[in-house]
Amino acid sequence: MPLPTRSSIPLAPPRRRGHLESWLPSRCHVCHAWPAAPLCGSCIAQFGRIQARCECCALPLAGGAKVCGACLREPPPMDACLSAVTYQWPWTECLARFKFRQDTGLAGSLAALLLRTPGVAVALAKADAVLPLPLAPERLAERGYNQALLLARSLTSRGLLTDGLLRTRHTPPQRSMTREQRLKSLHGAFAANPLRSSILRGRRIVLVDDVMTTGATLGAAAKALREAGVAHVTALVVARTGI
């Protein structure tokens, strides 16, 4: 009897599908090695090399600096930001599959990629709560799952707070917007859950998302948490654009 493969099982809800895919035979999405994890160790080593980044916005840095000039001039709402890789091939394709093509089985491999990034394990260990960036109800209904929540669940089970941050309104896709347009669009788009205020106030929070482009979305979320009295915010993302 042939072994079951991903294409041979009926389509399941995204949350259950991720569990099923964790034990089914697979091949690497990058080099197509078989059998392998969705992202094999060789490809992670080759394309996911650790590089120096700004501690506040995760942009690549050179010369031994810890913080980029932009963050020195205007510190972001996050105290720290950590990214595993630069948003370029093959990660653009992997994240598109994960985010838009229902390939939720990639959550574990992407989380493992993030966990190998210096500082991530320490940030999670110190956190009082881990919050996935929420989706607006319209976007969640369209996609069927929140990719940030799947990542957060794969990163840790300790302190996971799925409703600590609320998306107060739907915003248009940010991909084609400038930073200024994004900031305007996202104004007031997030709020800390008042029912969780005792958990958030004065605490260390880790925010989780898949991709960071200009930082406007994570910045708006971090600002809402700051306004609720959160003492320290660290953002974790799988990929950061290099500009």
Are 212 and 136 a contacting pair, CB within 8 Å? no
Question: Is residue 19 included in any domain, yes or no?
Answer: no
In the predicted model, residues of the chain with pLDDT beneath 70 are: 1-25, 172-187, 243
Task: Identify whether 206 is part of a domain.
Answer: yes
Beta strands in the chain (DSSP E): 80-86, 129-132, 165-167, 190-192, 204-212, 232-240
40 is a domain residue? no
Domain assignment present for 145: yes
Q: Which domain holds residue 193?
A: 50-240
Beta carbons within 10 angstroms of residue 110's beta carbon: 25
**What pLDDT sits at residue 161?**
96
Give every CB contact of residue 95 below 8 A, 6+ residues apart in sequence. Answer: 87, 110, 210, 211, 238, 239
Q: How many CA atoms are closer than 13 Å to the CA of 187, on its beta-carbon side?
A: 6
In a domain, 30, yes or no: no
| Beta-carbon count within 10 A of 135 CB | 18
126, part of any domain: yes
Specify the pLDDT at position 175: 63
What pLDDT does residue 169 have?
A: 75
- Report the pLDDT value the prediction gives residue 36, as an integer from 0 to 100: 79
Contact 223, 196 (CB under 8 A): no
Instruction: For residue 80, tell me if it sits in a domain.
Output: yes
How many domains are there within the chain? 1
Distances (CA, A) of 13 to 18, 38, 66, 102: 9, 19, 42, 9
| pTM tops 0.75 | yes
- Can you tell me the distance from the alpha carbon of 220 to that of 140, in angstroms, rounded to the nearest whole number? 19
**For residue 157, is it within any domain?**
yes
How confident is the model over 41-57, as pLDDT tens digits?
899 999 999 999 999 99
User: Can you give the pLDDT at residue 182?
Assistant: 65
The CATH number of the domain holding residue 57 is 3.40.50
